[in-house]
Amino acid sequence: MTVNRRNQAVRAAVEQGLLTEERPVAALLDVAGIRASAGALRTAFAAVTDAPVLHAFAVKAAPLVPVLALLNAEGIGAEVASPGELALARAAGVRPGDMVLDSPAKTPGELREAFALGIAVNADNPQELARIDALVGEGASAPVGVRVNPQIGGGSIGALSTATATSKFGIALRDEGARAAVVRMFLDRPWLTRLHTHSGSQGIPLARMIEGVQEVYALAEEINAAAGRQQIDTVDIGGGLPVNFASDETDPTFETYARLLKEQVPGLLDGRYGLVTEFGRALLAKHGTILARVEYAKVSGSRPIAVTHAGVQVATRTVYDPVSWPLRITAYDGAGRPRTGEPVVQDIAGPACFAGDLLAEGRALPLLEQGDVVAALDTGAYYFSNHYGYNSLPRPGVHGFAVRGETVEFSLVRAAQSMAEIVAESGGGRADALL
């Protein structure tokens, strides 16, 4: 999202009543930015391989049907990891052939549904593969792969590192006897044609991501040599491209990653293997902004504090782990114009009832006043889509926007949650259930 486009959108959001006393939080999505990211992803991989590539958006990053439909229109499929995510992708019109089902805990029912629809499945472990054996024995058919953990180590955020020695995901490839067992799995099942790996998300450096891809490519070559044919025809390299949360720059880019893959794993991209990618955050993060009104401006211990309505309910990871998930904050006045003035060190607080509910602590910004607007940047993925119901705070409305000259047009992606909806989902119709 360019600075000018963002500033236009913030002012228009205030002028057009998206941010009001009754609705003090609003989330914005830059449609042009999302389209540009999807195009950059397709172009980057088309430049390094002539083989088919399915780019499957990680639905967990933005489980919103209009977002999935927009990406689908831009040639991006869906990586789903639950029945709910599958339902969202189907509602968005994503074809089953453009989906991949990943999850370490698929039920028999989920597997049957995927096979019935023809959705590609990545099996997580031998017990899941045994369930798939039974389905295949009954005549079911779908593209099937096996997820392997190359055990190459983690990144800077442990909770998002999925290629550690004891990760819960996939078959641990370096455990004693595991590699030979994986090769045998494939030789015993001629219909098993895919391999999958994903080394982690934010905090994984490019070098480690590529090391994971090198490991799965080497395994594919080993299996094909043992089979005497190209049994593995598709490699799912996951996603995980890190996002720069320190500035407006997109760094690293999809182009950089694809070029490094071509340089360091050339055999994977020589046309023999189809590819699947599963990017989420890298596609959406830069194109989202959360706006919140400053309800009160106060001082405590000589520290100015701007109390807003955006906190842990939208920025859960930032609030609980601010070192790993810092957010950039931009200040606007009550009319939505960039606020000017000398930077003053201050806290940006959320509305929840605990002291740590801070969007930013000790941040130097023009001094915020009551009625001003703060913008939390780079929040297009995981922030406004994965709501945290602390204090029964409502989900904010989500609005897509398009800038046409001096005009900003908004479209409602998801309505703000009403008090009636909060009561209903909290058992409001069963008040006497425990009496």
79-132 per-position pLDDT tens digit: 999 999 999 999 999 999 999 999 999 999 999 999 999 999 999 999 999 999
- Kindly list the distances between the CA atom of residue 301 and the CA atoms of 65, 108, 111, 311, in Å, as whole numbers in the listed order: 45, 57, 57, 21
For the chain, the maximum distance between any two Cα atoms, rounded to a whole number of angstroms, is 73
Residues whose CB is less than 8 angstroms from the CB of residue 331 and which lie 6 or more positions away in sequence, other chains included:
338, 339, 365, 366, 368, 372, 373, 374, 375
pLDDT at 158 (0 to 100):
79
Summarize the confidence of residues 255-283 as an average pLDDT: 97
43-89 tens-digit pLDDT: 999 999 999 999 999 999 999 999 999 999 999 999 999 999 999 99
What is the value of pTM for the model shown?
Answer: 0.95
* Mean pLDDT, the chain, integer: 95
Cα–Cα distance for residue pair 276/145, rounded to 1 Å: 11
Whether residue 414 has pLDDT greater than 80:
yes
| CA 12 and chain centroid, separation | 27
Q: How many CA atoms does the CB half-sphere of 424 hold within 13 Å?
A: 5
Q: How many CA atoms does the CB half-sphere of 110 hold within 13 Å?
A: 21
Cα–Cα distance for residue pair 228/215, rounded to 1 Å: 20
CA-based nearest residue to 314, from 254, 386, 368, 248: 386
pLDDT at 153 (0 to 100):
80
Summarize the confidence of residues 399-418 as an average pLDDT: 96
Summarize the confidence of residues 250-258 as an average pLDDT: 96
pLDDT at 1 (0 to 100):
65
Whether residue 160 has pLDDT greater than 90:
no
Backbone phi and psi for residue 193, each to the nearest 5 degrees, phi listed first:
-125, 5
